[in-house]
């Protein structure tokens, strides 16, 4: 796979035998397997993190949430969000070999894709996609 090419989910490596793939058990759960969904990860923008903090401040003022977690530490905004990849969609490769970070831990073997429907740039394991024909 190269930058600019179109890819899709590889049915054999993503789904169970019941759904046309080769897996004995689903990647995440039976619901996602049945509906042809695999989750990728995208980084949140600074604006999205700021909006999260604004929402937290509003909830704290209203008394519906606390600004501290169970250990008494201040709550931190998430750095990433989940993105649904669908079995019937195509995605454009932005970077064929990529590394993303999960809680400051680098994770290799990823590919950076662009969803042509939502415009999100996200990461998913390279083994889960194949070149579109």
CA pair distance 34, 15, nearest whole angstrom: 8
Which 8-state DSSP code applies to residue 58? H
Burial of 68 (0-12, 13-18, 19+ CB in 10 A): exposed
Average pLDDT over residues 1-8: 94
Measured on CA atoms in the order 112, 118, 120, 122, is the torsion positive or negative? negative
The pLDDT of residue 103 is above 80: no
Give residue-wise pLDDT tens across range 7-43. 999 999 999 999 999 999 999 999 999 999 999 999 9
**Would you kindly state where each structural domain of the chain is located, as residue ranges?**
1-44+80-133, 45-78
For the entire predicted model, the pTM comes to 0.85
Distance CA 78, CA 99 (A): 18
Condensed to tens digits (0 to 9), the pLDDT of residues 61-90 reads 999 999 988 888 899 999 899 999 999 999
pLDDT band for 46, please (50, 70, 90 cuts).
Answer: very high
Q: How far apart are CA 70 and CA 59, in angstroms?
A: 17
């Amino acid at each position: 796979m190269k930058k600019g090419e179109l890819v899709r989910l590889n049915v054999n490596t993503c789904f169970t035998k019941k759904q046309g793939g080769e897996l004995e058990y689903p990647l995440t759960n039976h619901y996602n397997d049945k509906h042809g969904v695999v989750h990728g990860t995208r980084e949140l923008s600074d604006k999205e993190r700021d909006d999260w903090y604004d929402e937290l401040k509003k909830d704290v003022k209203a008394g519906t949430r606390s600004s501290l977690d169970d250990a008494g530490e201040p709550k931190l905004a998430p750095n990433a969000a989940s993105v649904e990849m669908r079995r019937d969609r195509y995605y454009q490769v932005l970077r064929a070999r990529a590394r993303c970070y999960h809680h400051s831990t680098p994770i290799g073997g990823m590919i950076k894709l662009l969803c042509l429907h939502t415009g999100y740039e996200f990461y998913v394991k390279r083994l889960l996609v194949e070149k579109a024909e």
